[in-house]
A and B are shown apart, each in its own frame.
Chain A
Amino acid sequence: DAGITQSPRHKVTETGTPVTLRCHQTENHRYMYWYRQDPGHGLRLIHYSYGVKDTDKGEVSDGYSVSRSKTEDFLLTLESATSSQTSVYFCAISGGQAAYEQYFGPGTRLTVT
């Protein structure tokens, strides 16, 4: 299994509060991704990174920001959480031998009340 951890694994927060989710990898892969998974929508890309300090938007980036100051860490921040951001968030990495094959972390279940 790829070395990907996410923290926290579960979080309940109130509307309007800031939230940061962390993804940590031990594979030294170049690419890192944040997805959200909602019923009826499958997995949708929020943001991704193609190197330290290099990030780009996905299809559902509004309300989210990311940062990557080290190869191994990719942070997802909800500046002011809303109930529509209640979801399961997955981190993924790629850049190994099969350069674009993605591997997923265990997920973070976020509930915004």
Chain B
Amino acid sequence: GIQVEQSPPDLILQEGANSTLRCNFSDSVNNLQWFHQNPWGQLINLFYIPSGTKQNGRLSATTVATERYSLLYISSSQTTDSGVYFCAVRYNTDKLIFGTGTRLQVFP
């Protein structure tokens, strides 16, 4: 089956710093989503981005489907950005396959 790998597994930042999270996948995909799981466990949709680039405030995402990766950019990080970031891909089925996540801690 398809493999979804995220890097780095852990990231520690000071407030105001920028960061890039990466998601690699081993096969062609039909769509890709980025989620943020906050410290209270809630899973929040960030982007639905099978290809191209999208921006939402301080966050942006780029998926290069032909090269099988997606990037999530966080600029001017805030403590509320802390949590775990997941990418998930769908290929040939109705199901999402999740990566194991990047744990981000932002300190004031």
Chain A residues with CB under 8 Å of chain B are 31, 33, 40-45, 48, 50, 58, 88, 90, 94, 98, 100-104, 106-107
Nearest B residue to A56, CB-CB: B94
Chain B residues with CB under 8 Å of chain A are 30-31, 33, 35, 41-43, 45, 48, 86, 88, 90, 94-96, 98-101
Q: What are 24 A-to-B residue pairs whose CB atoms are below 8 Å?
A: A40-B100, A41-B100, A42-B99, A44-B98, A45-B95, A45-B96, A48-B95, A50-B94, A58-B95, A94-B94, A100-B30, A100-B94, A101-B33, A101-B45, A102-B45, A102-B88, A102-B96, A104-B42, A104-B43, A104-B45, A106-B41, A107-B41, A107-B42, A107-B43
What chain A residues lie within 8 Å of B95 (beta carbons)?
33, 45, 48, 58
Q: Across the interface, do A100 and B41 meet the contact criterion of CB distance under 8 Å? A: no
